Amino acid sequence: MWRNVLRKTTLSSGELEFLTWRRGYSSSTSGHPARRFAAVWGNGDFGRLGVGTLDSQWSPKPINCSSFHHQSLKSIACGGAHTLFLTETGRVYATGLNDFGQLGSSDPIKYSREPIEVLGLAKGIVHIAAGYHHSCAITVDGEVYMWGKNSSGQLGLGKKAAKAVHRPTKVECLSGLTIKLAALGSEHTVAVTDGGEALSWGAVASGRLGHGLESSIFGFLTSSSEYTPRLIKKLEGIRVKRVAAGLLHSACIDGIAETGSLFVFGDKVVANLGFGEAKKATMPSMINTLPYSEEVACGGYHTCVVTRGGELYTWGSNENGCLGIGSTDVFHAPERIQDPFLKSPVSKVSCGWKHTAAISDGKVFTWGWGGSHGTFSVDGHSSGGQLGHGSDVDYIKPTMVHVGENVKALEISCGFNHTGAIFGYM
């Protein structure tokens, strides 16, 4: 009962704080506020939310960072315990944990409570991505810079590179290719060229790279890592337009007209799709039961797809209700979420470890793990409100996150146990 009271009370104060912030923000910027801004919620450990404290935020809190006062934000990328921000002018900022250099700062700081600019990047960054402990930025010319943890080669810098890289470093072996997008998982990276070719690198285990590498005839891994980007040959001839990377699996969408097919590879994806008893697909496997796919997101052990018509399908592990189907039953094949998306199509989706967020009609909806069972479901400590509903309660159905009036959600990103969104003024 106390949780319900807390939720209602916090929602009201959260909306009030949002509106108060907006008035103050407009005033502090001489009546010319940025057109797009970020709001965050969830676990505040190590400053991953960038709001200046280590406190968890139970409902959306706008980031009132001086660095952003005269800059509109283009996108946000939530990682394990850090967050990246990209401004419309192509500058990158980072906040949160820095134990492996994932903030891109060479200063010996353990973490940052507020966004700090990532220096050493080429001008004109157009895309950012965050993994569990590593980070990525892509320039307007398709050059890739990476930094952070590199113990499994997830930075693509070669076998001799350091295990932790604290400053953005260009992935030289991609020279000659124009990279458009990248997705970062726990210890791997997947990227797409302007021609639709898919490459991957990092930890090989579980088949998450899609190269078919697993075990030798004696049961030993042929290789534990791919230290440089490698073409996913099974996808040759397919023009990939979207990629996603989760804990131990990955996904790609075919961008060829009238196709929009989804390919998945990695841990548990085969069993979860009803292909038999096998638990892994070490090479891309096509799912032919979905309509034309536009967006895809991979979480801990679940996957979400948005179709061309704005329909949202989910499947996989359903711990804490992260599939949003109204129960905690595991679904082995894509299942469409009916309510509340029948009348308003979904435009964006993102998956955390065990929670999910989507944008529909400019509104944010979240569901799954609220934090009440602890970070690893064993310690009994709350992780802190990654659903943004004012409590740590799990939600098994998509539920709207209450924010201020006259704003529209444009981008959404789920981290391990925090969430961030980019909003624009209506």
Asked whether residue 221 is domain-assigned, the answer is yes
Summarize pLDDT for 164-190 with one digit per residue, the tens: 999 999 999 999 999 999 999 999 999
CA 337 remoteness from chain centre? 20
Summarize pLDDT for 370-381 with one digit per residue, the tens: 987 644 444 445
The reported pLDDT for the residue numbered 22 is 56
**Residue 191, SS3 per DSSP:** strand
Asked whether residue 270 is domain-assigned, the answer is yes
Q: Structural domain of residue 234, as residue ranges?
A: 36-255+264-287+401-425
Asked whether residue 283 is domain-assigned, the answer is yes
Asked whether residue 242 is domain-assigned, the answer is yes
Asked whether residue 354 is domain-assigned, the answer is no
pLDDT for residue 81 is more than 50: yes
pTM over cut 0.95: no
For 389, phi and psi rounded to 5 degrees? -100, 10
CB contact at 8 A, 420 and 385? no
Of 46, 76, 82, which is closest to residue 413 (Cα–Cα)? 76
The reported pLDDT for the residue numbered 10 is 43
The reported pLDDT for the residue numbered 299 is 96
**What tokens appear for 293 in the block?**
């796919």
The reported pLDDT for the residue numbered 33 is 53
Asked whether residue 27 is domain-assigned, the answer is no
Asked whether residue 320 is domain-assigned, the answer is no
- Residues whose CB falls within 8 Å of the CB of residue 2, separated by 6 or more in sequence, listed in order: none
CATH of the domain at 152: 2.130.10.30
CA angle 350, 354, 355 (to 5 degrees): 45
Asked whether residue 412 is domain-assigned, the answer is yes
Number of domains in the chain: 1
